[in-house]
A = this chain, B = another copy of it.
Amino acid sequence: PLLKAADAIPAAGPARLSEAEMQTAAWIREHALSDNRSYEILESLTTEVGARLAGSEADLRAVAWAEAKMRALGLDKVWKEPVQYPVWQRLSELASVISPYPHRLQVTALGHSVSTPEGGVQADIVRVASLQDLKNTDPAKVHGKIVFIDHKLKKSADYGEVAAGRSRGASEAARKGALALVIRSVGTDSHRLPHTGVMHYDDDAPRIAAAAISNPDADLLVRMLDRGEPVRLDLRIQTAMGGHFTSYNVIGELRGSEQPDDYVLIGGHLDSWDLGTGAVDDGAGCAITLGAAEFLRRHQLRPRRSIRVVLYANEEQGLIGGRAYHTAHRHEISRIQAASEADSGQGPVKMLRSDVRPAALAVVGQIQQVLTGLGVNAGGNQAHPGPDMGVLREAGAASFSLDMQADDYFDLHHTADDTFDKIDPARLRQSCAAFAVFAWMAAQSPVDFGSGDALIQSRKTRTAG
């Protein structure tokens, strides 16, 4: 598959990849599709590191693993950049129904939740259907109670709306005098495995404990409430917050042959929640993108620009690694040819969306053409590059989204069940093939994708149009 220099000369007309380059891209697609390296990388991460809560001792074990793995995989350049954040610790969590019928519930503290007061909270619950419903509820109904947000996640597309109750419910409830918040897990499954996730306190509200119960436990509370009797809970959450921690974004690069300081940025986040071993969130994203870069290296497919893989620190507790990367690299936005993070599970990739200047759309069409062979549909020129790269997009980075099949992602997301056995190697291979094709073609492109202020301006036109 090695390119001859003559083949790489662009044809006349709008800047496009050559026929030989298109054939190379198709070769990448077909061969990456039968390459298991991503699966092996994910097996290694989930087995040899496992759960890797940001700020825990496992956080630094994950960093050491990532650096060693990138070196072992032979990337041209491997380094790390410091990222700092406070440490949140889960200590213990218990929830039970006291009356009318005693039951032990499966519960998990939300990330950044404070503890319940000494002796826990014992109070009746008040059910609300959503964060919006809570906002509309008379404070007199909530005062002295435990608010129960009973917002079921029915499909992946609703995640943002439903997760708002997890992030913002506690302060909303506390302003109305609630003693604690319990939410129905933000997950599409029906297992006794609660879904954790980060929450935020507003400065103007008392800080009350916030926890999620599993979907079957939420169903149980609803059945009790349907009988018209008060339902009283005992909630005991112990957590700790404090101390500053230094972790790292771990970065590896396949150096470009002609413009090595320009780069295509791919990656995932290295941290996970503590309950599972972070296989789909986001070991998969790390393995897919690292596997894509390693595949190109192994086959000496070095494109014009560099391909940079960033495994971000602490995405889960506030996109902290992503913000640190932006801070460290904010003067080189125009060097980012394209940014695309993988943080939606194992795939397969179903749609390609871009966010590039018009002159680059012909090349995007060529990428799309090659990806069509993987069952990837065209999604137009509106894209978000993923959580950690969002701040780069704000700063003008040309962005891509390789949208993944999401039907089972929120079954596992942020639960103890997010483990390696859930990974289908064929799905991971397809995703790795899609990222390898995208990264290589974007890095090889004869045309710049347009990162910079002009792109920010053009988005406004596109949004208006």
Q: A193-B191, A193-B192, A416-B106 are in contact. Are A50 and B421 (CB under 8 A)?
A: no
Q: Are B419 and A103 in contact (CB under 8 A)?
A: no
Q: Are B103 and A219 in contact (CB under 8 A)?
A: no
* A224 at interface, CB cutoff 8 A: yes
In the complex, how many angstroms separate the beta carbon of A233 from the nearest chain B beta carbon?
14
Tell me the residues in window 183-213 of chain A with beta carbons closer than 8 Å to chain B beta carbons: 190-193
Chain B residues with CB under 8 Å of A420's CB are 216, 219-220, 223
* A71 at interface, CB cutoff 8 A: no
In the complex, how many angstroms separate the beta carbon of A94 from the nearest chain B beta carbon?
13
* A77 at interface, CB cutoff 8 A: no
In the complex, how many angstroms separate the beta carbon of A30 from the nearest chain B beta carbon?
29
Chain B residues with CB under 8 Å of A50's CB are 101-103, 220
Q: Are A216 and B101 in contact (CB under 8 A)?
A: no
Which residue of chain B is the closest to A274 with respect to CB atoms? B104
* A48 at interface, CB cutoff 8 A: yes
Q: Are A191 and B417 in contact (CB under 8 A)?
A: yes
Q: Are A47 and B223 in contact (CB under 8 A)?
A: yes
State A344–B416 Cα separation when bound (angstroms).
28
Q: A191-B191, A192-B416 are in contact. Are A219 and B421 (CB under 8 A)?
A: yes
Chain B residues with CB under 8 Å of A220's CB are 46-47, 50, 277, 419-420
Which residue of chain B is the closest to A279 with respect to CB atoms? B216
State A216–B417 Cα separation when bound (angstroms).
8
* A276 at interface, CB cutoff 8 A: yes
State A222–B220 Cα separation when bound (angstroms).
36
State A100–B104 Cα separation when bound (angstroms).
34
Tell me the residues in window 102-148 of chain A with beta carbons closer than 8 Å to chain B beta carbons: 102-104, 106
State A102–B421 Cα separation when bound (angstroms).
18
**Interface footprint category on A:** 20 to 34
Chain B residues with CB under 8 Å of A104's CB are 51
Chain B residues with CB under 8 Å of A192's CB are 193, 276, 415-417, 419
Tell me the residues in window 397-425 of chain A with beta carbons closer than 8 Å to chain B beta carbons: 415-417, 419-422
Chain B residues with CB under 8 Å of A417's CB are 191-192, 216
* A49 at interface, CB cutoff 8 A: yes
Q: Are B102 and A215 in contact (CB under 8 A)?
A: no
Q: Are B224 and A47 in contact (CB under 8 A)?
A: yes
Chain B residues with CB under 8 Å of A191's CB are 191, 193, 417
Chain B residues with CB under 8 Å of A223's CB are 43, 47, 420
Which residue of chain B is the closest to A224 with respect to CB atoms? B47
Tell me the residues in window 212-234 of chain A with beta carbons closer than 8 Å to chain B beta carbons: 215-216, 219-220, 223-224
Chain B residues with CB under 8 Å of A421's CB are 190, 215-216, 219
State A421–B191 Cα separation when bound (angstroms).
9
State A48–B192 Cα separation when bound (angstroms).
18
Chain B residues with CB under 8 Å of A106's CB are 416
Q: Are A101 and B49 in contact (CB under 8 A)?
A: yes
Chain B residues with CB under 8 Å of A216's CB are 417, 419-421
In the complex, how many angstroms separate the beta carbon of A346 from the nearest chain B beta carbon?
15
Chain B residues with CB under 8 Å of A415's CB are 192
Q: How would residues 165 to 197 of chain A score, 1 for a CB under 8 Å from any chain B CB and 0 otherwise?
A: 000000000000000000000000011110000
Chain B residues with CB under 8 Å of A193's CB are 191-193
Chain B residues with CB under 8 Å of A48's CB are 100-101
Q: Can you offer 18 A-B residue contacts whose CB atoms are under 8 A?
A: A43-B223, A46-B220, A48-B101, A49-B101, A50-B102, A50-B220, A106-B416, A190-B422, A191-B191, A191-B193, A191-B417, A192-B415, A192-B416, A192-B419, A193-B193, A216-B419, A220-B277, A220-B420
Residues of A within 8 A of B (CB): 43, 46-51, 58, 100-104, 106, 190-193, 215-216, 219-220, 223-224, 276-277, 415-417, 419-422
The 4 closest A-B pairs by CB, nearest first: A192-B416, A216-B419, A50-B103, A47-B223
